[in-house]
Amino acid sequence: MGVHQSACRTRIKICGITRLNDALDAVRLGADALGFVFYKRSPRYIDPLAAAAIIRQLPPFVATVGLFVNASQQEIESVLGCCPLSDIQLHGDESPEFCAAFPRRVMKAVAIASPEDLARVATYPCPVLLDARAPAGVYGGTGKRFDWSLLDGFSHDYPLVLAGGLSVENVRDAMAVRQWFALDVSSGVEVSPGIKDFDRMRRFIAAVNGCQVGQSVADHHSIGKEPL
């Protein structure tokens, strides 16, 4: 197992943040990353200046991810110029070459509905987020999951993140599929698009962490045994 795949703990990203209180609650509860949607057709869209105002009030060591859908490099750079994001998430039909054009960290979302979709993952030299395929013109945030049995034997040279229909009810099933670098949840912790629910976030984060207690002990004993 290489350095890209090695992980002692599955991280948690709360996506679709639109309110400061939701952002602060997510961080207090233990979220590692927050996602901000800069796709104007999404019900979770946030203006870059509004996102910047939220990010500047966050404590240190919280990853902030900007989600873009088929935006031009100029459009993305414009947002980066006013919004202090740590990562870029490309959620449209962007090519591997486009993903490699940014000096900032990039994660590519790939919609999964068949083995052919999984074959596309290998073409991206970066972390990949596996999401459920949505209807034409819709890019994520549907609350639907794909068939996780498609992932049997699947691997990628970079970290893998699972999204699509995640909730506290299926966390254990998701964690049983493989060692994920992170889980990315949006609608599963909402009362409406872009409006997060404190108790749902609390229960989701607790469920992810609860699945890792035994595994963390095993990982601790294996430290130093894997080549980097």
Residue among 127, 133, 115, 138 nearest 39 (CA) = 138
Q: Is 8 a catalytic residue?
A: no
Q: Is 15 a catalytic residue?
A: yes
Alpha carbons 50 and 53: distance in angstroms, whole number: 5
- Write down the catalytic residue from 22, 131, 173, 211: 131
- What's the alpha-carbon Rg for the chain, to the nearest Å? 17
- Contact between 162 and 7 under an 8 Å Cβ cutoff? The reply is no
C-alpha count within 13 angstroms, C-beta hemisphere, residue 131: 25
- Write down the catalytic residue from 8, 15, 87, 126: 15
Task: Return the active site residues.
Answer: 15, 131
